[in-house]
């Protein structure tokens, strides 16, 4: 076995579980990754991505020098021609072009993407640059595209959108519901804790999901609702709780408001009404409601299946109504738990990477809060108007209101819905700068590319899905001239200030990310008790943590909700999702597979791509038979927005009438098909329901030979071959 020069403790860069990893380093290469057995949250466990997917950091296509686009006289969508540049040249150009847009059109003509993969410190500085120097609140990130429905719903109901309970509590659950989350593939280590709760401790699991995900094998009860009909299921469960007097009267009286009006709105929502809409047998709805309501403690976990919908806010409110009614919040083993996707999507939001709030959700519209940041940031005057969300930024570009875009580590041309629309919007921009570790689909349209460092090449903190702030530590040197995001941002901020003729007295001189964290603590009461020294000693600290002797907060809302009382919201079931018809007769749902991560920028440059090298469309055997299709056949999947070509995997995982496509594969990008229709409150698009057509076709040129037959792709896929 190779002897390591060093073993560096850090945090996994993929999903929101935030597993602690030990990076074994020799000769500036990471050659092995394992997990410490004594460290929360994963206690020795890692999934395939954390253990074998980190080699992307050493991929030969890593960016090593700044790049400036040469063929600027051609349309932005033309294949880019780059020349290498010095840092001075590239940063001067970015400062000049962004500065010129600010001078001509104002800061609100610039749209910016913070990064759910970068550290808290990187994101804090990013939003500081956007707000204090560019003078706009147009900063958002991919949380808008994954959990905005959860965030908005939870804020309306209880005033806080974070996961309310810790990962450590999962193993000891009594009863729990998993809905809209294929946890085994999206949060694999969390799913291990959930499975242990069932197998070792006899916990009862209710799965509410249209797909036959692996957790259904562990479930006491599986409700298989039609895609997009979630509200009806939850409303009917609440109806049962009310009619059978299973609600927690004391909790409702002491901790909530609006219950009487709410139950009036439930009158029609019988289990039989819901069966008509959802296809779930009424008696199963009754049984699920009784099981949840009668439990001593019961938790609810959900994923993007709930939030990524034109009614994602209503879905979340329906879930929250049930939890409040049963008093299953504010105690160990209870709670409302949206499982966050990216490694630092929680932290990016906490650090102010949102258009309406500074750190830890302090509103930009609150004058006293603004004044606090103005003082800390050196006497600037901050914009009180909330900025645009990412979906609004794309539309703003198309309408000419947005002229420039600064994208740090994100890839809207894979993650936005209706990609042709998004591409067209970006073509309209005067200037795009991307700061990243690879050139991704968005980078190919940029004017300037700034090479950044991966998680393994920098220091800082990530905040995982259960609000635990953990360290990221530099293990290897960056390739070439790549620099950490925070260093690039400081350098750029100084140049922008010079270009715009002012200087914030606070300056941009930090010697280490810990200096940035100290500034974040000063302006954020919830972070005040968390220091680097403390994280190093304790492994991680859950915020809120208001003082140095505070233990941190593994579960929230013990005494009260941030909005005071939890609010019941009356809901009307209805859907405006695109429904199947004669022309497009199937429903498309999108999501992840175990071996890949989001837009694939990282995992498709890792060893994992050899195991799962291509997209496949999952299709029910009855649909496949009707269309004369078998596993491995090539098909064209078309919607009203566009079409993609990929192979078929015939499986009983998705229900009849619904196909599923993972969104990791640029050559068959699922978001070419999805619709840019959004939830009116959360502004999140519908990635789970749109109408498509599938027809047999020839393999596309260059993609004829695929070594691994789809049917041999590991145990999870094998299980999926069974028809249920």
Binding footprint of ligand SF4 on the chain (CB under 6 A): 12, 14-15, 17-19, 42, 46-47, 49-50, 187-189
Residue positions counted in the chain: 724
| Rounded Cα distance, 518 and 504, in Å | 18
Q: Cβ of residue 473: shortest distance to ligand SF4, in angstroms?
A: 16
Q: Cβ of residue 434: shortest distance to ligand SF4, in angstroms?
A: 24
Residue 505: which of 397, 378, 398, 600 has the closest Cα?
378
Q: Cβ of residue 57: shortest distance to ligand SF4, in angstroms?
A: 14
Q: Helix 87-105 and helix 485-500: axis angle, to 10°?
A: 50
Q: Cβ of residue 42: shortest distance to ligand SF4, in angstroms?
A: 6
Q: Cβ of residue 435: shortest distance to ligand SF4, in angstroms?
A: 23
Do residues 514 and 62 touch, judged by C-beta distance below 8 A?
Answer: no
Q: What pairs with residue 176 in β-bridges? A: 205, 299
| Rounded Cα distance, 620 and 210, in Å | 12
Q: Cβ of residue 19: shortest distance to ligand SF4, in angstroms?
A: 3
Give the tokens for residue 689.
């329901």
Nearer to ligand SF4 among residue 186 and residue 654 (C-beta): 186
Nearer to ligand SF4 among residue 19 and residue 206 (C-beta): 19
| Rounded Cα distance, 650 and 74, in Å | 43
CA 276 to chain centroid: 32
Give the tokens for residue 101.
């847009």
Do residues 480 and 449 touch, judged by C-beta distance below 8 A?
Answer: no
Do residues 457 and 476 touch, judged by C-beta distance below 8 A?
Answer: yes
Q: Cβ of residue 50: shortest distance to ligand SF4, in angstroms?
A: 2
Q: Cβ of residue 46: shortest distance to ligand SF4, in angstroms?
A: 4
Nearer to ligand SF4 among residue 455 and residue 557 (C-beta): 455
Nearer to ligand SF4 among residue 50 and residue 443 (C-beta): 50
Q: Cβ of residue 648: shortest distance to ligand SF4, in angstroms?
A: 28
| Rounded Cα distance, 406 and 422, in Å | 15
Question: Angle at Cα 594 formed by Cα 592 and Cα 597, nearest 5°?
Answer: 55
Nearer to ligand SF4 among residue 167 and residue 669 (C-beta): 167
Burial of 497 (0-12, 13-18, 19+ CB in 10 A): buried
Q: Cβ of residue 609: shortest distance to ligand SF4, in angstroms?
A: 15
Q: Cβ of residue 18: shortest distance to ligand SF4, in angstroms?
A: 6
3-state secondary structure of 144: helix
Give the tokens for residue 72.
């600027």
Q: Any idea of the CA torsion for 614, 658, 345, 332, to the nearest 10 degrees?
A: -130
Nearer to ligand SF4 among residue 12 and residue 390 (C-beta): 12
Nearer to ligand SF4 among residue 13 and residue 99 (C-beta): 13
Nearer to ligand SF4 among residue 378 and residue 539 (C-beta): 539
Q: Cβ of residue 345: shortest distance to ligand SF4, in angstroms?
A: 12
| Rounded Cα distance, 527 and 518, in Å | 10
Residues 6+ apart with CB under 8 A from 85: 65, 66, 67, 68, 93, 448
Q: Cβ of residue 35: shortest distance to ligand SF4, in angstroms?
A: 8
Q: Cβ of residue 716: shortest distance to ligand SF4, in angstroms?
A: 14
Q: What is the DSSP string of 34-85?
A: E--TT-TTTTT---HHHHHSGGGGG-TT---S-EEES-TTS-TTSPP-EEE-
Closest residue to ligand SF4, judged by C-beta, is 50
Nearer to ligand SF4 among residue 191 and residue 654 (C-beta): 191
Q: What is the DSSP string of 162-207?
A: S-SS-GGGGGG-SEEEEES--HHHHSHHHHHHHHHHHHTT--EEEE
CB count, 10 Å around CB of 628?
Answer: 9
Residue 122: which of 383, 467, 408 has the closest Cα?
408
Burial of 659 (0-12, 13-18, 19+ CB in 10 A): buried
Q: Helix 230-243 and helix 282-294: axis angle, to 10°?
A: 60
Burial of 139 (0-12, 13-18, 19+ CB in 10 A): buried
Nearer to ligand SF4 among residue 162 and residue 659 (C-beta): 162
Q: Cβ of residue 8: shortest distance to ligand SF4, in angstroms?
A: 16
Cis status of the peptide bond prior to 24, with omega within 30 of 0: no
- 45 — phi, psi (to 5°)? -95, 145
Nearer to ligand SF4 among residue 34 and residue 257 (C-beta): 34
Nearer to ligand SF4 among residue 12 and residue 95 (C-beta): 12
Q: Cβ of residue 422: shortest distance to ligand SF4, in angstroms?
A: 27
Q: What pairs with residue 83 in β-bridges? A: 68
Do residues 634 and 705 touch, judged by C-beta distance below 8 A?
Answer: no
Residue 146: which of 305, 315, 12 has the closest Cα?
305
Nearer to ligand SF4 among residue 54 and residue 720 (C-beta): 54
Q: Cβ of residue 445: shortest distance to ligand SF4, in angstroms?
A: 29
């Amino acid at each position: 076995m190779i002897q390591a020069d060093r073993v560096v403790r850090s945090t996994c860069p993929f999903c929101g579980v935030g597993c602690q990893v030990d990076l074994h380093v020799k000769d500036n290469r990471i050659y092995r990754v394992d997990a410490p057995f004594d460290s929360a949250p994963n206690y020795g466990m890692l999934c395939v991505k954390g253990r074998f997917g980190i080699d992307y950091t050493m991929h030969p296509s890593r960016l090593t020098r700044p790049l400036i686009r040469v063929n600027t006289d051609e349309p932005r969508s033309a294949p880019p021609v780059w020349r290498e540049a010095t840092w001075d040249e590239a940063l001067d150009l970015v400062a000049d072009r962004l500065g010129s847009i600010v001078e001509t059109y104002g800061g609100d003509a610039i749209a910016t993407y913070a990064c759910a993969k970068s550290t808290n410190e990187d994101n804090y500085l990013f939003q500081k640059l956007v707000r204090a120097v560019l003078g706009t609140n147009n900063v958002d990130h991919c949380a808008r595209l994954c959990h905005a429905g959860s965030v908005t719903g939870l804020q309306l109901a209880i005033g806080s959108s974070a996961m309310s309970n810790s990962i450590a509590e999962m193993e000891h659950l009594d009863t729990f519901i998993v809905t809209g989350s294929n946890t085994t593939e999206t949060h694999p280590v969390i799913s291990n804790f959930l499975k242990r709760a069932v197998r070792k401790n006899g916990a009862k699991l209710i799965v509410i999901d249209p797909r036959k995900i692996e957790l259904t094998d562990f479930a006491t009860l599986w409700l298989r609702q039609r895609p997009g009909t979630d509200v009806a299921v939850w409303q009917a469960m609440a109806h049962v709780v009310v009619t059978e007097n299973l609600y927690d009267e004391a909790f409702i009286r002491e901790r909530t408001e609006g219950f009487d009006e709410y139950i009036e709105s439930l009158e029609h929502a019988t289990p039989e009404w819901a069966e008509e809409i959802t296809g779930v047998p009424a008696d199963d709805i009754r049984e699920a409601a009784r099981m949840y309501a009668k439990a001593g403690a019961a938790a609810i976990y959900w994923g993007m299946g709930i939030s990524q919908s034109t009614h994602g806010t209503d879905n979340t409110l329906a879930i929250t109504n049930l939890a409040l009614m049963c008093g299953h919040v504010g105690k160990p083993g209870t709670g409302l738990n949206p499982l966050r996707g990216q490694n630092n999507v929680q932290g990016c939001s906490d650090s102010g990477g949102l258009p309406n709030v500074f750190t830890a959700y302090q509103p930009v519209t609150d004058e006293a809060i603004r004044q606090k940041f103005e003082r800390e940031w050196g006497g600037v005057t901050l914009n009180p108007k909330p900025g645009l969300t990412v979906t609004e930024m794309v539309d703003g570009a198309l309408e000419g209101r947005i002229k420039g875009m600064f994208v740090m580590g994100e890839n809207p041309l894979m993650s936005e819905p209706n990609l042709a629309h998004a591409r067209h919007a970006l073509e309209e921009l005067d200037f795009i700068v991307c700061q990243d570790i690879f050139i991704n689909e968005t980078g190919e349209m940029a004017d300037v590319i700034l090479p950044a460092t991966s998680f393994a090449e920098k220091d800082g903190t990530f905040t995982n899905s259960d609000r635990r702030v953990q360290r990221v530590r530099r293990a290897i040197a960056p390739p070439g001239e790549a620099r950490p995001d925070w260093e690039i941002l400081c350098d750029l901020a100084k140049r922008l200030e010079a270009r715009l003729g002012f200087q914030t007295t606070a300056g941009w001189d930090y010697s280490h990310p810990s200096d940035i964290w100290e500034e974040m603590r000063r302006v954020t009461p919830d972070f005040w008790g968390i220091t680097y020294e403390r994280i190093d000693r304790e492994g991680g600290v859950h915020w809120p943590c208001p003082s140095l002797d505070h233990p941190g907060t593994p579960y929230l809302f013990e005494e009260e909700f941030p909005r005071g009382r939890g609010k019941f919201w009356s809901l009307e079931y209805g859907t405006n999702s695109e429904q199947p018809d004669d022309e497009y007769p199937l429903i498309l749902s999108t999501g992840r597979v175990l071996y890949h991560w989001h837009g694939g920028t990282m995992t498709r440059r890792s060893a994992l791509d050899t195991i799962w090298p291509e997209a496949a469309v999952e299709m029910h055997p009855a649909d496949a038979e009707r269309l004369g299709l078998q596993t491995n056949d090539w098909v064209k999947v078309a919607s009203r927005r566009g079409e993609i070509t990929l192979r078929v995997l015939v499986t009983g995982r998705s229900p009849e009438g619904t196909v599923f496509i993972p969104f990791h594969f640029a050559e068959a990008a699922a978001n070419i098909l999805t619709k840019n229709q959004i939830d009116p409150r959360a502004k999140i698009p519908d990635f789970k329901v749109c109408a498509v057509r599938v027809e047999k076709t020839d393999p596309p040129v260059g993609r004829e030979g695929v070594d691994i037959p789809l049917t041999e792709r590991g145990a999870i896929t094998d299980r999926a071959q069974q028809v249920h």
